[in-house]
Amino acid sequence: MELVDHLRELRYRILVSIVALIVAALCCFIFFDQLIAVFFHPINTAIATYQANNPDAQVAITTSNITGGFTLWMKIPVVAGFILSCPVWLYQLWRFIAPGLLANERRAALNFLGPSIPLFLAGIVLGYWVCPKGFAVLLEFNPSGVTNLNDANEFLTFEITLLLVFGLSFLLPVVLVMLDKFGIITGAALGKYRSIAVFGCFLFAAVATPSTDPISMAVLALPMSGLYVVAEVICKRNDKRRARQLEAGTG
């Protein structure tokens, strides 16, 4: 396939993905009230918890300028539409990349992609569950007599970023197994540095979680540490299999 054909194929895949995103966003636009309730459930729960402990506290979710409400109406359907249309644009991405891969490379890519999606979603679900408690702890730092105003658009960006951090952190075992497959690391090396890696997981969780309490940190750090151990076991098993294949080949 010539360069022009590649560009035409790329244009077609991008166009299909954009159309899918627009259609999904329009569908989500119809359910804006339900979607905003989902996105703002963590902060609303946190505010209710905070005000229950501090009856005189003033906390509000606001829009900071005249275009704030319009921006919110655009941002939420687009974000939800991007998520809803992900099967389409992921498929289009795969159809563009797959022809350039060998059969074994396609199998390897699918083997990594298979567990990546559920792990990423599990991380997002965990993050969504942790957020209300974390936000409530952050509100406790608000000085007495000071009204806490939260811009809706800024909060939405912060929440989405936080959920992405949780989702991406759960891809740790996939990344480690991939590095092992390419010979960059080994299962033995993962076992050797396990204690350092676990400490790194807790350090990362302390920075990534929005609260300062140890429970929220542990909720992220413990699954990450467990996933690291799972990756270590898989890498050691793969290393042994490759060693046997090498011995059989040289024998």
% residues pLDDT > 70 (the chain):
96
- pLDDT, tens digit, for every residue of 187-234? 899 999 999 999 999 998 888 776 666 777 888 889 999 999 999 999
Closest Cα partner for 133 from 56, 210, 221, 60?
210
In this structure, are residues 209 and 217 in contact, taking their beta carbons and an 8 Å threshold? yes
d(CA 201, CA 169): 9
Phi/psi of residue 151, nearest 5 degrees: -70, 130
**Which of 97-111, 176-190, 222-236 is predicted with the least confidence, judged by mean pLDDT?**
97-111
The C-alpha atoms of residue 105 and residue 100 are separated, in whole angstroms, by 9
pLDDT score of 92 more than 80: yes
Q: Which amino acid is at 116?
A: S
Q: How far apart are CA 156 and CA 75, in angstroms?
A: 9
**Partners of 151 in beta bridges:** 62
CB 205: neighbour CB atoms within 10 A?
A: 24
pLDDT of 22: 94
> Across-strand partners of 62?
151
Annotated domain spans of the chain = 1-164, 171-244
- pLDDT the model gives residue 251: 53
Tell me if 153 sits within 8 A of 72, measured CB to CB. Answer: yes
Give residue-wise pLDDT tens across range 13-51.
999 999 999 999 999 999 999 999 999 999 999 999 888
Quick one: which H or E segment has residue 61? Answer: strand 59-62
Q: Is 201 exposed, middle or buried (0-12, 13-18, 19+ CB in 10 A)?
A: buried
Cα–Cα distance measured from residue 100 to residue 242, given in angstroms and rounded to the nearest whole number: 26
Q: How many angstroms separate the CA atoms of 132 and 48, rounded?
A: 10
Q: What angle do CA 168, 158, 162 make, to 5 degrees?
A: 25
Kindly report whether the global pTM for this prediction surpasses the value 0.95: no
Query: Taking a C-beta distance cutoff of 8 angstroms, is the pair 174, 112 a contact?
Result: yes
Is the separation of the CB atoms in 169 and 220 below 8 Å?
A: yes
pLDDT over 70 (residue 181): yes
